Amino acid sequence: MSLPDQYGVFGNPIQHSKSPIIHALFAEQTGQNLDYRKYLAPLNGFAQSIHQFAESGGLGANVTVPFKIEAFQLADVLSERARMAGAVNTLSFREGKIVGDNTDGAGLVRDIVLNARCPIAGCRVLLLGAGGAARGAILPLLEQNPVRLDIANRTKQKAEDLINLAKREISGGAPIPMQALSWEQLNGNYDVVINATSASLHGDLPPISASIFADRCLAYDMMYGDQVTPFNQFATLAGAQIRDGLGMLVEQAAEAFWIWRGIRPETLKVINALRPRVG
């Protein structure tokens, strides 16, 4: 058998990355001969690490905290969704060029629509947060044709900036209503509420009221862990269905696998295999 094709994930820290397990499960499931490892890139040596990896025969790399913006700057070619996200999490090395993509938003949407079986089309969607995670989600969410997409953030101006960016980026078609809101202005209710703030990371909850969750609403926290996040605890008490970001993690990896190998692995099996190990 020939040597396996080389892939990897670059970050700092990288110790806890689940990407090698996920890609090993994808490779096993699809019979692909590849080797996927984690690489600790020095904080001031990301570009050098990537160049070395590509020159030594690496075919593709995932990029995680804190290098997604540097990866965006490093890429010679960018996908539309990477441009809109302003960040890159997937690199492919093709004919001497570095091609940058961002699969995070597509991973989120696939997890909501295919795994949680909650349509976004025709729904009122609320995105909480206006940082990097929220930015990457906007274009893939809009592509699903929600009836509205509002963004609420602690710093309202950042939500306004994201909406203006999205409006500039989208061309053609009927415009989907979008509104920037401060926490105080948040008073409608929504069919899908996505927590893209980093509040859960610090054990915090954005100051939301239970009335934002419509009947049979899906509440989605992009974070995950061995404990239910404060946002998902709150949403459960408010009667919403909840989902955490483990499915998004697996789906963004599957989207990268698709870019590199042209095969879609079965993600539900992998999400279920990882669930007991989360934490």
Contact residues for ligand ATR (CB under 6 A)?
129-133, 153-155, 158, 197-199, 202, 204, 206
- Residue closest to ligand ATR when measured from CB atoms: 131
| Cα distance between residue 102 and residue 78, in whole Å | 9
Residues 231 and 205 sit within 8 Å (Cβ to Cβ) = yes
Question: Could you tell me the smallest distance in angstroms from the CB atom of residue 219 to ligand ATR?
Answer: 15
Q: Is 15 annotated as a binding residue?
A: no
Q: Which CB atom, from 58 or from 129, has the smaller least distance to ligand ATR?
A: 129
* Annotated catalytic residue, options 68, 97, 167, 269: 68
Taking the complex as a whole, how short is the minimal distance between the CB of residue 240 and ligand ATR, in angstroms?
A: 18
Is residue 156 exposed (0-12), middle (13-18) or buried (19+ Cβ within 10 Å)?
Answer: middle
Order across the sheet with 190-195: list the strands: 178-181, 148-152, 124-128, 190-195, 213-221, 241-243
Largest CA distance in the chain: 62
Nearest to 251 by CA among 107, 123, 35: 107
Write down the least CB distance from residue 24 to ligand ATR, Å: 26
Q: Please check if 224 is assigned to a binding site.
A: yes
Q: Is 68 a catalytic residue?
A: yes
130 is in an annotated binding site: yes
Is position 129 annotated in a ligand binding site?
Answer: yes
Is residue 92 part of an annotated ligand binding site?
no
Helix (H, G, I), strand (E, B) or coil at 4: coil
- Taking each helix axis from N to C end, the angle separating 246-261 and 19-30, rounded to the nearest 10 degrees, works out to 50
Neighbours of 61 (CB within 10 A): 28
Please provide the DSSP assignment of 262-278 as one string: S----HHHHHHHHGGG-
Cβ of residue 128: shortest distance to ligand ATR, in angstroms? 7
**155 vs 272, beta carbon nearer ligand ATR:** 155
Binding site annotation covers 89? yes
Q: Give least dist CB 270 to ligand ATR, A.
A: 23
Residue with smaller CB distance to ligand ATR, 6 or 17: 17
Residue whose CB is less far from ligand ATR, 123 or 152: 152
Question: Rounded CA gap, 242 and 221, in Å?
Answer: 8
Output 37 or 83, the one with its CB closest to ligand ATR: 83
Residues making up the annotated binding site for NADP(+) are 80, 129-133, 153-158, 222, 245
Residues making up the annotated binding site for shikimate are 17-19, 64, 89, 104, 224, 252
Residues making up the annotated binding site are 17-19, 64, 80, 89, 104, 129-133, 153-158, 222, 224, 245, 252
Active-site annotation, residues: 68
